[in-house]
Chains A and B, each alone.
Chain A
Amino acid sequence: MKGPRLKIFSIVFGVIYVAAFYFDLALFRYYPAAREFHWTRTDGIGVVILWYGWIATAALASAAIAFAVPRKMAERLWPGWAWIIPTAVVVVTLIYERRWFV
């Protein structure tokens, strides 16, 4: 992945990560007590870590989108989106996570 496509990756990564987190779209799940990875929800083997799976989902989907977007379109993209969209994602995340503090 080169040049302007890196911008596309970063712009969509945060959006897909938050969607993966909100809609439970982890690519895989890790069960630390059992030290096992599973593709799907598995009950009875302790707590689950979804964070790795959310990152993997976002990384793969963002890379696919970054490669799919035509290079010319990526070059024409306004540079401001590279920080405005991730900033908006952070704000949405912070608003959602207020649930821990009420």
Chain B
Amino acid sequence: MIVVLLILHGLLAVGLLGAITHQALSVLPLASAKGQRTFIDRFRGVNAPAYATPIVVLFVITAIGGALLYPQYRIDVRPALEDMQNAAANGVFEIKEHLIAIGLGLLPAYWYFWQPPLTADASARRALTWLLAFFVWWGFIVGHVLNNIRGLLP
């Protein structure tokens, strides 16, 4: 059961990572070359406001999945990391749990600033999107590294 939940959590995180990355790049004030649409242009050229509600839903569901997995981590993984004297691995996970919690708290404002018609608060909208993107990327990378840490470390 825990393996199914872990895979589901990972798959939801992939969806969230893709969505928030599309949206975060779409709000970057980049100028594109005339007449040429690069891969980055096409990646950024999404209907960004339409991503806001799915991102909120995915963030909440993925965080709930992580919360359900957390007891297993606390009982099995963390003591193993402590036995390996790998404080840094525990540290990056501690930071992950704080960022996800702070991210949950940010979602209402993030959603508010993305509601159409988009007001002039573009800088707040951009910063909140980038903050959430940072949290999601941190959570994704740390989650995968810790999940595979026995294979990664000599």
Cβ contact within 8 Å between B70 and A14:
no
The smallest C-beta distance from A30 to any residue of chain B, in angstroms, reads 7
The smallest C-beta distance from B97 to any residue of chain A, in angstroms, reads 5
Cβ contact within 8 Å between A7 and B97:
no
Cβ contact within 8 Å between B112 and A90:
no
CA–CA, A94 and B131, complex, Å: 14
A53-92 vs B, CB cutoff 8 Å, 1 = contact: the mask equals 0110011001000000000000000011011101101100
Cβ contact within 8 Å between A13 and B75:
no
CA–CA, A84 and B74, complex, Å: 32
Cβ contact within 8 Å between A6 and B102:
no
Give the interface size class of chain B.
Answer: 35 or more
CA–CA, A58 and B88, complex, Å: 27
Give the interface size class of chain A.
Answer: 35 or more
> Please, which residue of chain B has its CB at the minimum distance from the CB of A20?
B101
Cβ contact within 8 Å between B124 and A62:
no
Cβ contact within 8 Å between B112 and A47:
no
The smallest C-beta distance from A89 to any residue of chain B, in angstroms, reads 6
With a cutoff of 8 Å between Cβ atoms, the chain B residues found around residue A58 in the complex are 101, 105
Cβ contact within 8 Å between B71 and A93:
no
With a cutoff of 8 Å between Cβ atoms, the chain A residues found around residue B97 in the complex are 51
With a cutoff of 8 Å between Cβ atoms, the chain A residues found around residue B8 in the complex are none
**Most chain A C-beta atoms within 10 Å of own C-beta, residue among B75, B94, B105:** B105
Tell me which of B78, B102, B128 contacts A93 (CB under 8 A).
B102
A3 located at the interface, meaning its Cβ lies under 8 Å from any Cβ of chain B in the complex: yes
With a cutoff of 8 Å between Cβ atoms, the chain B residues found around residue A79 in the complex are 113, 121, 123-124
**Most chain A C-beta atoms within 10 Å of own C-beta, residue among B104, B112, B113, B128:** B112
Chain A residues with a Cβ under 8 A of chain B: 1, 3-4, 6-7, 9-11, 13-14, 17-18, 21, 30, 32-33, 46-47, 49, 51-52, 54-55, 58-59, 62, 79-80, 82-84, 86-87, 89-90, 93-94, 97, 99-101
